């Protein structure tokens, strides 16, 4: 019988739920516990054609916990990004809930602790009768909120989430504030945390921003957004730590690009002036937006410098949004990020309290 179920949830995408789930799974496994994993609802995980249904979070957890059950048991519902209602027009929603509960019972059989990972927001799945707080109540799970730290308005998100949980009679285990910039850590510890705890909500972790987790390779970005490499393919393993938008004059861009290292520049494919400036200042990769091809003279230069030129159909703003969605994601077979995530959680999260069996 499951001793404790922890529903790891958030209020927005890219908050760090998977990092926390993977870390808790690794720590609990080290302690000899029998750990299960379940993700009731997932969104299409890639923009690349043919890879939409692959959720790498689930694959990582299957490897870490050596889970043998099928993908459809661990994740019974997959929604298309943004446009999915047509797939459910003739569905009996009560059967969706029953199917999720049946899968959960199978996934949790024989486990000491269940780690349940929510979608990007507490309300996702409400149209099916499966919002996070309702499912948490059905699973007898406690909700662990993971939020990306931005500013003081984060307390409003937490209080609103608390109210939503109360509506469904779901228990809020506590909150983890994630990806806190170094210059905001003192405020998080001495202002934000005391305020939240004064509302009788436990703050169970303050995780600083970590470049090892945030850094991506050009290949990972290209694979996720389904881009086409026009040149510089030998540089697809270049590390990306900063994302810049190239929408200024070449002179201004040069000053901008030289201030940082390991940068990805996103710019219109017709901005050959910006592309050449980026190549000359040593960027790691360039994404060309709008399905616009650059001047042919930039291609051999990109090949020579091993700087990938990746063309995508989206506009610059949409491309930036897509890239930001995969910052901090951990891929299967990625020990560098997994170890970094576990170290971060061990140092900055009260994982013993989180994993402690309910009394």
Q: What pLDDT digit, counting tens, does each position of 246-274 carry?
A: 888 888 888 888 888 889 999 999 999 99
The DSSP line for 337-358 is HHHHHHHHHHHHB-HHHHHSPP
> Are the beta carbons of 296 and 287 closer than 8 angstroms?
no
Residue 96 has pLDDT above 50, yes or no: yes
- Which whole number is the average pLDDT over 345-355? 96
pLDDT at residue 54, as a whole number: 64
Residue 59 has pLDDT above 70, yes or no: yes
Residue of 301 and 331 predicted with greater confidence: 301
Fill in the DSSP letter of residue 27. Answer: H
Class (C level, CATH) for 228-311? alpha beta
pLDDT at residue 359, as a whole number: 38
Look up the pTM and report it: 0.83
Sorting pLDDT into bands at 50, 70 and 90, what band is 47?
low
- Which whole number is the average pLDDT over 111-133? 94
Residue of 299 and 259 predicted with greater confidence: 299
pLDDT at residue 326, as a whole number: 81
pLDDT at residue 357, as a whole number: 65
CA–CA separation, 175 and 357 (whole Å): 18
> Are the beta carbons of 13 and 325 closer than 8 angstroms?
yes
pLDDT at residue 330, as a whole number: 75
Torsion-angle region of residue 178: left (phi > 0), alpha (psi -120 to 50) or beta?
A: beta
pLDDT at residue 48, as a whole number: 54
Torsion-angle region of residue 52: left (phi > 0), alpha (psi -120 to 50) or beta?
A: alpha
Q: Where are the beta strands (DSSP E) in 1-90?
A: 4-9, 35-38, 41-43, 77-79
pLDDT at residue 331, as a whole number: 72
- Delimit the domains of the chain by residue range: 4-213+329-355, 228-311
Class (C level, CATH) for 4-213+329-355? alpha beta
CA–CA separation, 42 and 325 (whole Å): 14
């Amino acid at each position: 019988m499951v001793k404790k179920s922890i529903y790891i949830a958030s209020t927005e995408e890219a908050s760090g739920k998977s990092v926390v789930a993977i870390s808790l799974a690794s720590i609990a496994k080290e302690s000899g516990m029998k750990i299960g994993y379940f993700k009731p609802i997932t969104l299409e995980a890639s923009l690349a054609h043919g890879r939409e249904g692959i959720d790498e979070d689930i694959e990582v957890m299957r490897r870490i916990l050596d889970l043998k059950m099928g993908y459809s048991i661990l994740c019974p519902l997959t929604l298309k990004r943004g446009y999915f209602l047509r797939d459910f027009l003739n569905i009996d929603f009560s059967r969706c809930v029953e199917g999720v509960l049946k899968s959960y019972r199978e996934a949790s059989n024989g486990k000491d602790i269940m780690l349940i990972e929510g979608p990007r927001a507490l309300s996702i799945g409400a149209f099916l009768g499966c919002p996070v707080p309702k499912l948490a109540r059905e699973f007898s799970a406690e909700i662990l909120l993971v939020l990306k730290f931005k500013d003081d308005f984060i307390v409003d998100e937490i209080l609103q989430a608390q109210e939503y949980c109360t509506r469904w009679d779901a228990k809020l285990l506590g909150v983890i504030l994630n990806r806190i910039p170094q210059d905001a850590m003192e405020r998080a510890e001495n202002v934000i945390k005391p305020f939240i705890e004064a509302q009788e909500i436990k703050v169970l972790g303050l995780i600083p921003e970590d470049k090892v987790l945030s850094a991506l390779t050009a290949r990972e970005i290209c694979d996720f957004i389904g881009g086409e490499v026009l040149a510089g393919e030998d540089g697809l393993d270049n590390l990306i730590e900063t994302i810049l938008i190239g929408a200024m004059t070449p002179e201004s861009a040069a000053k901008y690009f030289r201030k940082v290292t390991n940068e990805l520049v996103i710019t219109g494919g017709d901005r050959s002036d910006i592309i050449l400036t980026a190549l000359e200042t040593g960027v790691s990769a360039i994404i060309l937006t709008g399905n616009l091809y650059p001047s042919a003279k930039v291609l051999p230069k990109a090949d020579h410098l091993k700087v990938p030129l990746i063309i995508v159909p989206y506009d610059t703003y949409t491309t930036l949004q897509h890239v930001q969605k995969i910052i901090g994601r951990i891929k299967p077979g990625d020990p560098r990020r997994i170890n970094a995530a576990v170290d971060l959680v061990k140092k900055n999260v009260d994982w013993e309290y989180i994993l402690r069996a309910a009394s």
